[in-house]
Structure 1
Amino acid sequence: MKLKKVFFNIILFCLMVAALTVLGASILTTITYEMHVDVDFPHYVRENIPLLLISLILVFGIFAFLKSKDVFTSKKMIGFALVFCIAYCLMLILVIKPQPVNDSKTLDDIINAFMAGDYSSLTQKGGYLFIWPFQLGYVYFGQLVCSIFGTGNYLAWDILQLVSIVITVDLIYKMTWEMFEDREICGIMALMSAGCLFFYNYVTYIYGDILSMAPQTLALYFMILYMKRDKVRYGLLSGIFIAIAVMLKTNCEIAVIALIMMVLLHTVREHKLANTVGRDVKRTIVIIAAMLVMVFGIKTAVNTHYCALTGLEEIPAGSPSVSHIAMGLQESDLEDGWYNGYNYRVFDENDYDTDKTKEAAITEIKRRLALFTEHPLYGGRFLARKFLTQWADPVCISTHNLDLVSRHVDDQPAFCKSLVFGKTNSILRWIMNVFMTFCYFGIVVYLFNVLEKGEVSDSEMLILILIFGGIMFHEFWEGSSRYAMRYYVYWLPFAAFGIRETLDMISKKLKR
């Protein structure tokens, strides 16, 4: 139990440092993107601090007023949150009429080619899936969607993504209840979810990021139920849904690690009697084994399916994952640690040989780490900047994405132009800008509270470990605030707790 507590405190302290850093950056600076360009190029600009402070005071005033009227204790708050989410996402879908872009477009073309029996992107040396075979799970899902709704039916894709977003928001509300069992915190979380425009904007981006969020959040929710209800079926359901999530987006493997860690840590509980330890160990082994079998089993099933279709004896190994890490440690003409094409180039330069590419990437990693060691100030600045460009981006590239996915529409209506490039876009960006500072303020208050108490439930710790894992992984992997977006939304329950604590403190002082 002492080791478990020490481990939890280390995670909490690291998250506190990260949250304070993002909070400070969100007050002093913000990040913007150039429109009418094809690449993700974040730019730091100075924050309008007086306007930000006025906006925050106004937001706190609104929340304090609603709290005084007991609005947050109503279960209707989640209904409001979901209606707002659906209305906003549908507005984007109907106004912008989004279509696939970049990798999303490449995969859409591949799915259509597979539907026509052309598997050359997988079987030919240098093809997209030959290089990135981990995308086969998403392609398989895409073929299922096309079989049901027809090829090129992007409205169907958008609606599926809307469903995934709605499920995610509803589950985060349910997780908030399971973590804190406080209806007021749940209500605050529901209202705060209206500020997650960065998340809702991605309803227009047809890719695995959003589609994987619902099954991943279901996996987290069922694991929380397992730890609270002590029912094995919840643990097994968690394994089923995280396997689906990994099939759609391999980044969800971070959640697999978090789930397994919490199953193990949950087994170590002070109140367990000696005669139940054997039963708990058996349960833990069953759940972890089942989860791993399902995660690797669904990948094997997809690979076997495409081997049978293409006649390949095995799926190509593709570019090694270390090439992403090597790229994530490099300087770039755009933003250091972000995508610069290295992972493609190094595989091509080594004649698409996975082992040789792995050796070259490891050599590059060692070179960069040696440089960081020899010049610690340079290394520190590099890693700090990379952290902030991902985690202190209030829009998570979502406004730039709206630009990309709307370009296929000629003679756009005035409202669409305003939404993507004009005043409406500026208003949305400011809402997200204020939301980030407001949200991280609540997170800092929450983390300070639990560090002071020295206690945190297993349910809370599951999500905190996931967020910590996301921070650590993407500090060395290819950088992008789009990747940080999937963890940002999981901060909501903790931010809501911190905002409630702050409102209580303000209320007490006013009464005095």
Structure 2
Amino acid sequence: MLFNVLAMAGIFNMLYKILTKMTDNIRIHNLYWVMVFGCFPLIFYSFFVYGTIFGLFFSLVGFYNLILAKENGKILNFVISFLAFCMGTISKSNCLIFVIAAVLVTLFYGIKEQKLKYVVFSIILMGALMAPKCVNLYYAKKANVTISKGVPAKCFIAMGLQKGTKELGCGVDGWYNAYNLTTFVNAGRDSEKASEIAGENISERLSEFKSKPLEFVDFAKNKITTQWCEPTFQTFWMLQAMDNHAEWSKIAESIEKGKANKIIFVIMKLYLIFIWLGNLAYLIAKRKQLTIWNLLLQVAVLGGFIFHFLWEGKALYIMPYYVISFVAGVQGMYMLYEKIKIETLNIQEQNKKAVSEVNHKS
């Protein structure tokens, strides 16, 4: 948990460094630091003994050094980026999405600007996708064992397309319901057989969507909103589900399920609205000035959106994408503020002119 807190501080710092590469506006920088003090989903995530926070930290180190490598052309920054992405994917396999985003952006830039070096960089970055497998192979060789294929990917996709029912163990569309493990065990732990069963279930579900388009719309709406519009990102649920902490103090109890909890929940709701609205405002306001490098984090968020729509769902998994969205979010919020400020001044000026004209006529 302590290491989670240190990595969390690193995450906030790396996001700030990336923000400084996108804008030199000190007011936006200050707004960012004010906002992250209330980034409660990440803060409460520090209780979760898992690789998510480490993976996000290393991935952001990778993104930042990739931006530096593009700016100064130094191989060292690219090497650091590659190694950081490797550490990210080893820490948490979902960080493969961040690597793919980095590969696509670097490849697009290399092709568009006709710079072979960046095309080569993008190909090398793909090596980070193999880092987790290399670690597994190394330890398997040292232990002289063979690692089985395990639960096939199709099981997770089939689970992610299922309608939520109490019989399946989850009432939310597309969320985790243990289908993957149940199918694997019922198939005698045979990966190929489990994959075949899941493939049939996927085909059946797609046929249902084809014959009933409105059902697909309803399913998509439910799965997207329950993941991306859940302001706590399940962090309060996680505090209760993961009984890995000592006895709470009175303040901690209040934060978990008392009066403070209700206040923090309202703050989380407001933050969710501000950050997503800020991202939208940023993309609209900057649409003519945006480059592929300005959209680096947005490409990662888009990748996460697609992946978690197809894969098993949980609001808990969306937290990293929400956190990296603070970079564009605070910029968009400031732009909205400036726009409202200018419009207000214009209205006041028009009112003054109108009053002046009336007084002049009278």
* TM-score, normalised via structure 1 length: 0.64
Matched, 1:393 2:230: yes
Matched, 1:284 2:119: yes
Contact 1:208 1:249 in 2 (8 A): yes
Contact 2:172 2:222 in 1 (8 A): no
Distance in structure 2 (CA, Å) of the matches to 1:457 and 1:422: 46
CA shift at 1:373, angstroms?
Answer: 0.7
Distance in structure 1 (CA, Å) of the matches to 2:244 and 2:69: 46
Matched, 1:371 2:205: no
Equivalent AA in structure 2 for residue 507 of structure 1: K
Distance in structure 2 (CA, Å) of the matches to 1:182 and 1:414: 41
Distance in structure 1 (CA, Å) of the matches to 2:253 and 2:135: 45
Distance in structure 2 (CA, Å) of the matches to 1:510 and 1:375: 48
CA shift at 1:443, angstroms?
Answer: 1.6
Corresponding residue of 2:302:
468
Alignment of 1:23-42 (within 5 A): none
CA shift at 1:409, angstroms?
Answer: 4.7
Distance in structure 2 (CA, Å) of the matches to 1:253 and 1:337: 21
Distance in structure 1 (CA, Å) of the matches to 2:196 and 2:203: 11
Equivalent AA in structure 2 for residue 392 of structure 1: C
Corresponding residue of 1:354:
191
Q: 1:260 aligns with which of 103, 106, 110?
A: 103
Q: 2:217 aligns with which of 375, 380, 386?
A: 380
Q: Where does the alignment leave 5 or more consecutive residues of structure 2 unmatched?
A: 350-362
Contact 2:99 2:128 in 1 (8 A): no
Contact 1:239 1:295 in 2 (8 A): no
Contact 2:110 2:117 in 1 (8 A): no
Corresponding residue of 1:170:
13
Corresponding residue of 1:302:
136
Distance in structure 1 (CA, Å) of the matches to 2:30 and 2:344: 23
Corresponding residue of 1:426:
262
Distance in structure 2 (CA, Å) of the matches to 1:168 and 1:181: 20
Q: 1:479 aligns with which of 299, 313, 319?
A: 313
Matched, 1:325 2:157: yes
Corresponding residue of 1:114:
none
Task: Choose between structure 1 and 2 for higher RCO, CA contacts under 8 A separated by at least 6 residues.
Answer: 1
Matched, 1:232 2:82: no
Contact 1:224 1:459 in 2 (8 A): yes
Distance in structure 2 (CA, Å) of the matches to 1:413 and 1:245: 34
Contact 1:329 1:336 in 2 (8 A): yes
User: In the superposition, relative to structure 1, how do residues 206 and 408 fare at CA in structure 2: closer, same or farther (>3 Å)?
Assistant: closer
- The range that moved more, 214-223 or 179-188, is 179-188
Instruction: Among all aligned residue pairs of Structure 1 and Structure 2, give the percentage whose two residues are the same amino acid.
Output: 26
Matched, 1:491 2:325: yes
Contact 1:307 1:315 in 2 (8 A): no
Distance in structure 2 (CA, Å) of the matches to 1:439 and 1:282: 35
Contact 1:232 1:283 in 2 (8 A): no
Superposed CA deviations along residues 369-424 of structure 1, whole A, max 9, x for unmatched, are 110111000011001110000000010001111222357656x4433321211101
Equivalent AA in structure 2 for residue 383 of structure 1: A
Superposed CA deviations along residues 249-308 of structure 1, whole A, max 9, x for unmatched, are 111111111111011111134xx5xxxx4xx314421x2343233442553243222332
* TM-score, normalised via structure 2 length: 0.89
Corresponding residue of 1:101:
none
Distance in structure 2 (CA, Å) of the matches to 1:186 and 1:323: 44
Equivalent AA in structure 2 for residue 328 of structure 1: G
User: In the superposition, relative to structure 1, how do residues 461 and 351 fare at CA in structure 2: closer, same or farther (>3 Å)?
Assistant: same
Matched, 1:341 2:173: no
